[in-house]
Amino acid sequence: MGMKRGEYEEALEPLTLDLVSMARWARATGARIVVLFEGRDTAGKGGAIGAVRDRLNPRQCRTVALAKPSEAEQTQWYFQRYVAHLPSAGEIVLFDRSWYNRAGVERVMGYCSEDEAEAFLRQVPVFEKLLVDDGILLFKYWLTTDQNRQEERLRERLDDPLKRWKLSPVDLAARDKYEEYTRAREAMLAATHTPHAPWTLVDFNDQKRGRLTLIRDLLSRIPDTRVEPPEMDFPALGHPPLAERFAVLKPIPDFPVKD
């Protein structure tokens, strides 16, 4: 049985406060933070990213979820379109899938050649060493999911009109390639789990518990982030509060509420 929502929200609250503190530390020190969220379809990447980002300033913490490459991008150095989204000083970037698309979905679904996939696995440790050596704090998470949980979530997407947009032909095709994805992941980990950019695997069969585990691990690997918020006064207004006035246009009527 999955974690109860009330229990989850109670456990998430102090972690959220620590995430806000982490963001304040990043802004104060100019740290650049990159977090990669990888895993099978339906693993829970979007929910995990949402839990990290929920209370952070969207001007500081942004999500990158790239569509398939354009014709021009297909002719570029593979990493080129990802480099454009790396953080500036004080920023946090969360990649909802990343350059590791080449080692996973592109390789399994035949969107790249085996030579291209092998070249990627040789190059990515060097690419990530350049990022880390330049001072970027890089965290790589793989969200693990058993196939029975994946099937439940795919069915839920199909049955729920609010989630159906998440379901793609690639998702459905992946159902028959569960073992191929496992082999591709293992090859990826063997080639790219390095001392300078290690992978962390998190059990996401229970997505709520998985989010808490991931956030706790992320916070534990950030340097001491204790930065006190600035002191701010809140002076008296000096006059009675004013009501909003409208001359040219007026607000639309309130949404009707049944008695």
DSSP designation for 166: G
Domain total of the chain: 1
Buried b (16+ CB within 10 A) or exposed e, 112-138: beeeebeebbebbbebbeebbeeebbb
Has residue 155 been placed in a domain?
A: yes
pLDDT score of 155 more than 90: no
Report the chain's mean pLDDT, rounded to a whole number.
Answer: 94
Q: What is the pLDDT of residue 59?
A: 96
Has residue 258 been placed in a domain?
A: no
Has residue 230 been placed in a domain?
A: no
**Contact between 141 and 91 (Cβ < 8 Å):** no
Has residue 233 been placed in a domain?
A: no
Q: What is the CA radius of gyration of the chain?
A: 22
Helix, strand or coil, per DSSP, at residue 184: helix
Helix/strand number for the chain, H first, E second: 10, 5
Q: Which residue has the tokens 């459905």?
A: 172
Residue range of the domain that includes 163:
5-220
The tens digit of pLDDT for each residue in 102-132 reads 999 999 999 999 999 999 999 999 999 999 9
pTM of the shown model: 0.91
Give the DSSP per-residue string, 92-133: EEEEES-GGGGGTHHHHTTSS-HHHHHHHHHHHHHHHHHHHH
Residues in the chain: 259
Report the CATH number that the domain containing residue 54 is assigned in CATH. 3.40.50.300
* Structure confidence at residue 67 as a pLDDT band (50, 70, 90): very high
Has residue 111 been placed in a domain?
A: yes
Kindly report which listed range (43-47, 80-84, 181-185, 222-226) carries the lowest average pLDDT score. 222-226
CA–CA distances in Å: residue 53 to residues 71, 106, 132, 155, 235 = 32, 27, 23, 27, 31
Has residue 110 been placed in a domain?
A: yes
Task: Write the Ramachandran bin of 199: left for phi over 0, alpha for psi from -120 to 50, otherwise beta.
Answer: beta
pLDDT score of 170 more than 90: no
Q: What is the pLDDT of residue 56?
A: 97
Has residue 175 been placed in a domain?
A: yes
Has residue 241 been placed in a domain?
A: no
Which residues on neighbouring strands pair with residue 35, listed in sequence order? 94, 139
